[in-house]
Chains A and B, each alone.
Chain A
């Protein structure tokens, strides 16, 4: 979807046009689902979270001001939904029934390592995890991420720093040997 189309749909939905809203949700469901899945790594949970997020979107579309990219705004919505969701469920995202990254093939070693890294990222505190996802995963600048996370830029930098330190401690040695 090009930008003007996106703009048109958002404007329409904000003005109360149900068709525009439908098109918008349809368009972004996949994106939201991906975000949710990356966050919780469990298909069922991700579905539920995305559904919640869609419902939230119905009420919240009016509060999108257009001062950031729509996807960034959505990202925030989805992550907040996910956090609320887990709070209500009273548990944390679990990876036990999560994704099976390591499929048996010649790259098994590589994949196993990747899975371990992802596992570790998911074990980080929420703040650091979010920062990692936004800055490393989505390629945002610290400033952009800070705006989205509603905190100072320095906080983001600090969290990234902390997270990377932890990951490096865990993996650097192993990688060197491996």
Chain B
């Protein structure tokens, strides 16, 4: 075999063309990294001089003192941090420490802690709960340890540090950190087994560290970041966080309450969208959209109204308000055709001469044959989650969800703040006390690296992946992803890829003031999951217990609706809501295009407002010249005159990738005003209630199409169609409308 032959063989290796998505992703990430590195460079050159002096490493031109090397070693940091903590515990002042050589209690403790420290450092990969956290970020002991280690170093350094202490920012940090440090060191002493030796937990991390550590971790960081993405072993993307710190944050460190005057308001983010316009059937006879079973918007609106203000318009998604309620539509008979559409036309209560076309879809319910679930909770424990309606509510919600699961379902818990960690390895629900204990240990603090957390959660889900079960990651957050991969596209791609592997994502939103609705919608939509907003324990019960089956078990995915209107019968139409779910006409038959999913027992309602041909209320004048062209050519073969429209539903069964099609003509039989209409009164009730909700939502959005419809009209319509209302959700709706009414008098739209 000669070189030429070998070369030929090597050259002829079939290399597949690079995947375009992978390429885009890589390029995006590289650019993000590039910009980041540029930013860091800038910061470095401008510099915060006293800190660069401290860290010693920021500038390559910096002097290389012999201590520097030693300082970079983990154990030195650890030892010094420990000693610092001992100082705090013993309550001795710095000067006392210098003379302190008795070696009684304090020194013993120090020795013990040091032992612990070395143990962890030695085999940090071993069995620590947090072994998943990156081992790499060694040089990042934060400010407080910094201060600490200086203390035990040589005297001349102490002099240098003294100057630094004078710096108010550091001093400020120190004040905040000290109690936490003491508390958790004490804890580790009392348990004696803690492997979390550095308990110090500085809250003001990001800005200060970044500058300093950038250089140190520069080389390691991209790998970590990328590794996180790939689901590698160490998914920590934040350079600003040492593993031990995360650990201490997750277990044992008491809540650090934000200063009382801190108020987190006005940063809720919603996608900006325009409401659907009236469309002329002549010009655009086909309307296509994806189903949406999310309810987040309803709870958010309710929360706003409960606090006496009208919600911002972009926060109101009409379809989510409508779909918040469970409607009693006829059930499908079999799992093979997982849902049934019931279509009814009723006169529009807000526009004379128009009709509302309700499409009600009810998903197959699988109550008896509940599949196994493999669930990973991914909980945001960042600082912003630190309020009663966030983390504590998350914990309680999760506990409620436990009750609705089978004993052999598995649960794992991952958390993320500045970095991500596993709090609970996959555990059977039967070991409930273990799960609850893990939940109870959680406390909030730090920044948010949602991306790293997502990686970790998916890793856990993959670890325990069960082809038969429903594999799902449930993310609970206030929606803030401010560290790591913040690029929405990347996160989206990532979630999408995992979805293809069979792991779905649901997102539960919590809190207010920092709520990133857009991001959560995007993630849930791409992860084949539900986005719900949890503002109270009641809501948690609704989503996680009453609707657990529909929230957790998909019966159909990528459900798309397409309605073709018959120009003979319908002049104009307007889809109420679903603005953010609009699809292109050609997307309907394209199985590659993702769409919404329907869970077991879910109901989905879509409402079209249509203007029949010949009605007085056609909003667009007919074209003068088009009539002449209207030669009836292919009318001969079939007579569609009795049809308003033709409804097509496309869906995929959860594990299939090819879609199925259901079609139904919508005829006069569906029209309430028509003699042939036969429908049970209960169904009408349902449609009337949906109408009331739709009317309300539209008014909240500005009431562009609802004419004179008032809050009072809605209240009476809803009151008349409450039906059974087992859980009181509909009564609550009426209450909400009243609240909106009073809010609107103060704050007119």
**Chain A interface residues toward B at CB < 8 A:** 13, 16, 18, 21-22, 25-26, 29-30, 33-34, 37-38, 41, 43, 47-48, 50-52, 54-59, 61, 84-85, 88-90, 99-101, 114, 117-118, 121, 132-133, 136-137, 139, 164, 167-168, 171-172, 175
Contact = CB atoms under 8 A, between A and B. Distances in A.
Given A34-B15, A59-B219, A26 B33 contact: no
Interface of B: 1, 3, 6-7, 9-19, 22-23, 25-27, 29-31, 33-38, 41, 218-219, 221-223, 225-227, 229-230, 232-234
Contact of B16 (A43, A85, A172): A43
A54 B41 contact: no
Contacts of B233: 88-90
A26 to B, nearest CB: 6
Contacts of A175: 1
B14 A101 contact: yes
B451 to A, nearest CB: 14
B10 A121 contact: yes
B317 to A, nearest CB: 34
B26 A101 contact: no
A50 B18 contact: yes
A84 to B, nearest CB: 6
Given A25-B31, A51-B25, A56-B223, A171 B9 contact: no
Contact of A29 (B27, B34, B218, B221): B27
A132 B35 CA distance: 36
Contacts of A50: 18, 22, 26
A60 to B, nearest CB: 8
Which of A57, A58, A118, A133 gathers most chain B CB within 10 Å?
A58
B218 A168 contact: no
B222 A38 contact: no
A47 B31 contact: no
Q: Is the interface of A mostly helix, strand, loop or mixed?
A: helix
Nearest to B40: A59
Contacts of B36: 58
25 contacts: A18-B31, A21-B34, A26-B23, A26-B27, A30-B18, A33-B22, A52-B222, A52-B223, A54-B30, A55-B30, A55-B222, A57-B30, A58-B37, A59-B34, A84-B223, A85-B227, A88-B232, A88-B234, A101-B14, A136-B3, A136-B7, A137-B10, A167-B1, A167-B6, A172-B1
A123 to B, nearest CB: 15
B10 A136 contact: yes
B275 to A, nearest CB: 36
A89 B23 CA distance: 22
Contacts of A47: 18-19, 22, 26
Contacts of A168: 1
A176 B524 CA distance: 61
Given A25-B30, A59-B33, A59-B222, A118 B25 contact: no
A99 B13 contact: yes
A62 to B, nearest CB: 9
A18 B35 contact: yes
B38 A16 contact: yes
A164 B9 CA distance: 14
A137 B7 contact: yes
A16 B9 CA distance: 40
Contacts of A16: 38, 41
A33 B18 contact: yes
Contacts of B17: 30
A51 B31 contact: no
Given A18-B35, A22-B31, 5 more contacts: A29-B26, A29-B27, A84-B223, A114-B9, A172-B1
What 10 A-B pairs are tightest by C-beta distance, nearest first? A54-B30, A58-B34, A58-B33, A51-B26, A55-B222, A137-B10, A33-B18, A52-B226, A47-B22, A54-B26
A136 B33 contact: no
Contacts of A22: 27, 31
A89 B232 contact: yes
Contacts of B226: 48, 51-52, 55
Contact of B13 (A26, A38, A171): A38
B651 to A, nearest CB: 29
Contact of A25 (B11, B27, B37, B229): B27
Which of B15, B16, B29, B223 gathers most chain A CB within 10 Å?
B15
B27 A54 contact: yes
Nearest to A116: B9
Nearest to A19: B31
A118 B222 contact: no
Given A54-B30, A55-B226, A38 B9 contact: no
A18 B30 CA distance: 10
B11 A99 contact: no
Contacts of B230: 48, 51-52, 85
Contact of A58 (B12, B31, B229): B31
Which of B11, B16, B226 gathers most chain A CB within 10 Å?
B226
Given A18-B34, A58-B33, A118-B10, A51 B22 contact: yes
Nearest to A37: B15
A175 B223 CA distance: 43
Contacts of A118: 9-10, 13
B219 to A, nearest CB: 7
B454 to A, nearest CB: 16
B6 A136 contact: yes
Nearest to B234: A88
Contacts of A84: 223
B133 to A, nearest CB: 14
A57 B566 CA distance: 57
Contact of B30 (A58, A89, A90, A172): A58
B500 to A, nearest CB: 12
A172 B222 CA distance: 44
Nearest to A99: B14
